[in-house]
């Protein structure tokens, strides 16, 4: 190991989870984040039990997560006729040793940020520092090339460089100069939040409609004890036939709900009123459902990709943020075994790149929402008795296959030893 700290490009969920993990195992690190000010951006995300386990091991427990989200109790798919296709318990109710949390992305991100400042210190995060590339040095160290908010540039030298700079990663572009442009399959999403009464179990994740025209709805707060209202996260999705357009509409553009509410105008049942839910929001964020084709490797000597920079994926499996956290922990475990060395990055790459790249492609094929596609193909989304469309056994087998591939099969996770044993520290060389 060189005497330099580990450099982390990007202070999103993956970058901050990496910083907290490295600090826990005694490895100095510095995060370079492009934005000048951290703000609580985004709406709902899910933290799967495999990621919640890692957060608990990082000392971010139920008390902290309950302030910014709510444990999920159920995952359900509902057809265009408002009838249930499939439902299963989630988190503790499903037998996991750890809950699944639905949280506000921005508040979760800020909670991680505060933890980094408290545990490592404010010098651990350099804001207004965009990493534009890297240089491998002859002494085995690596330099991150940095562009500051005022336009000036500088280099920072590190023992290793972890690229957690998101889907538009500059480091990935340098590592894989021939990677194809961002992939867009034609789906547009509008995301918003509305204060409303939670439905079904009170903490249910609901996928409603078909794979080309659907709503995803779940609460991201406990209900207010007086009003009974919770903050409900919703994602309205429509797949267009055109393969063009997302570049023109931009990424995470704020739009009025009238832009898309007409797609869901008649989605009303006695248990759910989608037009009212959409109308109750102040506005929505429009963004295209995009990902990237997998690359054959996430490591180049002293540099490794992590989080969306490694595996930007469709949100159909609700596992983008969870996987970024797991990446950070697997990287930490590799350093415990191999030291702060390129060999640790190679071990991390060998363990995750293949299987998680397969999850990226699986999510493209609708991920767990694939059941909605099957119902759509077989009966146009409308049915009397779901068992006549897809037998219960076939539905259960489909879901079990997805969970095993994404790393949150219940028995597999419960019996897996801690990724980072309690108190483990990287040996000083």
Place of tokens 């995009």: 290
CB of 289 to ligand FAD, least distance (A): 10
Give yes or no for residue 362 binding ligand FAD (CB under 6 A). Answer: no
Q: Is the CB of 284 or the CB of 335 nearer to ligand FAD?
A: 284
Q: Considering the rule CB under 6 A, would residue 165 count as an interface residue with ligand FAD?
A: yes
Closest CA to 183 of 284, 314, 303, 306: 314
Of the two residues 383 and 408, which places its CB atom closer to ligand FAD in the complex?
408
- Interface with ligand FAD, residue 237, by CB under 6 A: no
Question: Could you say whether residue 170 binds ligand FAD (CB under 6 A)?
Answer: yes
Binds ligand FAD by CB under 6 A, chosen from 54, 74, 308, 376: 308
Answer for the pair 363, 316: CB distance below 8 angstroms, yes or no: yes
Is 219 a binding residue for ligand FAD by CB under 6 A? The answer is no
| Interatomic CA distance for residues 266 and 181, integer angstroms | 37
- CA dist list (Å): 212 to 185, 239, 312, 328, 398: 11, 5, 20, 33, 19
**What's the first-to-final CA gap in the chain, in angstroms?**
7
| 164 touching ligand FAD, by CB under 6 A | yes
Instruction: Choose, by CB under 6 A, the member of 60, 65, 324, 353 that binds ligand FAD.
Output: 324
Q: What single-letter DSSP state applies at residue 223?
A: P
Phi, psi of 246 (to 5 degrees): -70, -30
Nearer to ligand FAD, 15 or 209 (CB): 15
Nearer to ligand FAD, 12 or 71 (CB): 12
Listed residue (252, 343, 332, 291) closest to 169, CA to CA: 291
| Two structure tokens written together for 144 | 């991150």
Q: Which of 20, 27, 30, 43 binds ligand FAD (CB under 6 A)?
A: 43
Angle 385-387-389 (CA atoms, 0-180°, nearest 5)?
85
Scanning 158-166, 237-245, 351-359, 398-406 for contacts with ligand FAD by CB under 6 A, the matching segment is 158-166
Tokens 């992590």, residue located: 306
Interface with ligand FAD includes 54 (CB under 6 A)?
Answer: no
Piece in contact with ligand FAD (CB under 6 A), picked from 35-43, 61-69, 224-232, 386-394? 35-43
Closer of 130 and 213 to ligand FAD (Cβ): 130
Residue 236 phi/psi, 5-degree rounding, is -100, 130
Q: Does 34 bind ligand FAD (CB under 6 A)?
A: yes
Residue from 1, 5, 11, 54 binding ligand FAD (CB under 6 A): 11
Which of 195, 258, 13 lies closest to 115 in space, CA to CA?
13
* Residues within window 180-199 making contact with ligand FAD, judged by CB under 6 A: 191
- Judged by CB, which is closer to ligand FAD: 70, or 131? 131
185 φ/ψ angles, rounded to the nearest 5 degrees:
-90, 5
Among 105, 213, 214, 329, binds ligand FAD (CB under 6 A): 105
Residue nearest to ligand FAD (CB): 12
* Stretch near ligand FAD under the rule CB under 6 A, chosen from 28-36, 275-283, 350-358, 367-375: 28-36
Helix axes 370-379, 392-406, angle to 10 degrees: 150
Q: Which residues, other chains included, contact 30 with Cβ-Cβ below 8 Å and sequence gap of 6+?
A: 5, 6, 7, 8, 123, 124, 125, 126, 156, 158
Q: Which stretch binds ligand FAD (CB under 6 A): 31-39, 199-207, 253-261, 416-424?
A: 31-39
352 binds ligand FAD (CB under 6 A): no
Count residues binding ligand FAD (CB under 6 A): 29
Binding window for ligand FAD (CB under 6 A); candidates: 9-17, 56-64, 148-156, 214-222:
9-17
Percentage helix, strand, coil, to 5, in the chain? Answer: 35, 25, 35
In DSSP notation, 12-75 reads SHHHHHHHHHHHHTT--EEEE-SSSS------EEEE-HHHHHHHHHTT--HHHHHHHEEE--EE
Binding site for ligand FAD (CB under 6 A): 9-15, 32-35, 41-43, 45, 105, 130-131, 164-166, 170, 191, 307-308, 315, 320-321, 324
């Amino acid at each position: 190991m060189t005497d330099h700290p580990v450099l982390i490009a990007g202070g999103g969920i993956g970058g901050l989870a990496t910083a907290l993990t490295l600090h826990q195992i005694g490895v100095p690190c510095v995060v370079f984040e492009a934005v000048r000010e951290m703000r609580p951006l985004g709406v709902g995300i899910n933290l799967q039990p495999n990621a919640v386990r890692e957060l608990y091991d990082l000392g971010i427990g139920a008390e902290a997560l309950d302030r910014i989200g709510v444990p999920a109790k159920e995952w359900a798919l509902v057809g265009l006729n408002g009838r249930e296709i499939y439902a299963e318990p989630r988190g503790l109710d499903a037998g996991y040793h750890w809950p699944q949390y639905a949280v506000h992305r921005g508040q979760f991100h800020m909670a991680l940020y505060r933890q980094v400042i408290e545990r490592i210190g404010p010098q651990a995060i350099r804001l207004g520092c965009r990493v534009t590339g890297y240089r491998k040095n002859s002494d085995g160290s690596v330099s991150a090339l940095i562009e500051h908010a005022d336009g000036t540039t500088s280099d920072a030298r590190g023992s290793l460089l972890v690229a957690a700079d998101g889907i538009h990663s500059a480091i990935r572009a340098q590592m894989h100069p021939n990677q194809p442009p961002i992939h867009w399959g034609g789906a547009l999403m509008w995301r918003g939040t509305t204060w409303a009464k939670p439905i079904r179990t009170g903490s249910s994740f609901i996928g409603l409609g078909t794979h080309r025209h659907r709503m995803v709805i779940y609460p991201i707060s406990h209900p207010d004890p007086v009003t009974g209202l919770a903050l409900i996260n919703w994602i309205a999705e429509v797949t267009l036939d055109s393969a063009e357009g997302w570049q023109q509409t931009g990424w995470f553009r704020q739009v009025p709900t009238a832009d898309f509410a007409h797609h869901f105008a008649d989605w009303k049942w006695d248990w759910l009123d989608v037009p009212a839910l959409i109308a109750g929001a102040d506005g929505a964020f429009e963004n295209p459902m995009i990902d990237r084709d997998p690359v054959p490797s996430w490591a180049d000597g002293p540099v490794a990709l992590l989080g969306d920079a490694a595996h930007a994926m469709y949100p159909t499996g609700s596992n983008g943020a969870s996987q970024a956290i797991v990446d950070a922990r697997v990287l930490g475990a590799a350093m415990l075994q191999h030291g702060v060395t390129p060999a640790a990055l190679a071990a991390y790459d060998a363990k995750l790149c293949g299987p998680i790249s397969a999850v990226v492609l699986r999510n493209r094929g609708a991920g767990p929402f694939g059941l909605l596609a099957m119902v759509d193909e077989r009966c146009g989304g409308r049915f009397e008795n779901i068992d006549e469309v897809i037998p219960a056994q076939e539905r259960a087998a489909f879901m079990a296959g997805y969970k095993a591939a994404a790393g949150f099969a219940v028995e597999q996770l419960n019996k897996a030893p801690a990724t980072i044993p309690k108190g483990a520290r990287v040996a000083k060389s």
